[in-house]
Amino acid sequence: MTNDNAFYPACALSHPGLVRDNNEDSVYVDGRIGLSILCDGMGGYNAGDVASQLAIEVLRREMRASLADIGHLTPVQAVQDVSSDLLIAIENANTRIRQEGVARPEFQGMGTTLVCLVMLEDRAVVAHVGDSRLYRWRKGLLTQITQDHSWLEAQIQAGTMTLEQAQHSRYKNLITRGLGIDDNIEPEIQQILLEDKDIYLSCSDGLSDMIENSEIVNILRIHSNSLEQAAQDLIDAANHNGGRDNISVILMAATPGKSSRGLFKRLVAGLQNR
């Protein structure tokens, strides 16, 4: 999935990996409005692919509506409104997944992670639940923007486990938050500043568990002008290292230097007319 002539150049790819028969990941990106959503249906639960698709469906619909309603706002006000709307959308997605699990016994207990990025000129809103991640590649440096909602991350933060120990732990995929698991959901939402030529990488743990940060940096450095090739190389690298899980990647480049208020309003108007 690529967005040609997008305001924010973007690309999304997903692959089942080399071990699993089905792909429980779901991805969505629209570089014309700066929206990306990645969900990883959680392993060990029923119908993880259904949960991830439901989450994408709700977030896509509600965030497109949110973005169509901010043309009269300042950039700061837009970020505040989108942050609030994103929280509501995540709560609605959680409710939808829970309701579907009740209505259809074969889906009971299904769940999904989520990482969502909304770019708004020179700012962005990020929301995540679970261990799907968002990274920023800026001037050759890779920074992890989100912090995993996982048992291992909690141990690392508490100082009871080192990073090296965590890499070899049998509890690597034990997450502590996920959509569809409980009635109450606690997404983490943050606001960040964008710089021209930033590249943002959303990924499922099928990528982050299989390749080192240094390899991600090298691929983005080589293919910073071809997001589609970079995404394909990232997936190929994860498969080369074993491909033990579904692998999903979304790349979106920030171009705030090309932004203008007039262009932003035209983009919002385009959404309103769809």
Q: What is the pLDDT of residue 262?
A: 45
Instruction: State the burial class of residue 116 (Cβ atoms within 10 Å of its Cβ: 0-12, 13-18, 19+).
Output: buried
Our measurement of the distance from residue 91's CA atom to the centroid of its chain's CA atoms, rounded to an integer in Å, reads 16
Spatial contact of 54 and 144, defined as CB atoms under 8 Å apart: no
Cα 127 to Cα 131: distance, rounded to the nearest angstrom: 12
Angle at 67 between CA 70 and CA 51, to 5 degrees: 150
Angle at 73 between CA 129 and CA 78, to 5 degrees: 15
Q: What is the mean pLDDT of each run of 10 residues along the chain (274 residues)?
A: 72 97 95 95 79 97 92 87 97 96 90 96 94 96 91 60 58 80 94 95 96 97 96 98 97 73 52 59
Identity of the residue numbered 249:
V
Provide Rg for the chain, Cα atoms. Answer: 18
Nearest to 63 by CA among 94, 42, 84: 84
Q: What is the pLDDT of residue 235?
A: 98
Q: What is the pLDDT of residue 69?
A: 86
> Phi then psi for 10, rounded to 5 degrees?
-150, 155
Segment holding 50, helix H or strand E? helix 48-67
Which residues are bridge partners to 116 per DSSP?
Answer: 37, 127
Q: Return the exposure string of 188-220: e unless at least 16 CB atoms fall within 10 Å of the residue's CB, then b.
A: eeeebebeeebbbbbbbbbbbbbbeeebbeebb
Q: What is the pLDDT of residue 155?
A: 63
Identity of the residue numbered 125:
V
Q: Where are the domains of the chain?
A: 2-144+175-272
- Look up the CATH number of domain 2-144+175-272: 3.60.40.10
Q: What is the pLDDT of residue 234?
A: 98
End-to-end CA separation in angstroms for the chain: 20
> Phi then psi for 90, rounded to 5 degrees?
-65, -40
This prediction has a pTM of 0.90
Residue recorded with tokens 């409104």:
81
Residues 6+ apart with CB under 8 A from 63: 35, 37, 82, 85, 86, 89, 116, 118
Cα 211 to Cα 215: distance, rounded to the nearest angstrom: 6
Instruction: Please state whether 146 falls in left (phi above 0), alpha (psi between -120 and 50) or beta.
Output: beta
Cα 268 to Cα 69: distance, rounded to the nearest angstrom: 7
Q: What is the pLDDT of residue 6?
A: 65
Q: Name the token pair of 254.
A: 């920030």
Residue recorded with tokens 């770019």:
119
Sheet bearing 133-138, strands edge to edge: 2-3, 10-15, 247-253, 199-203, 133-138, 141-144
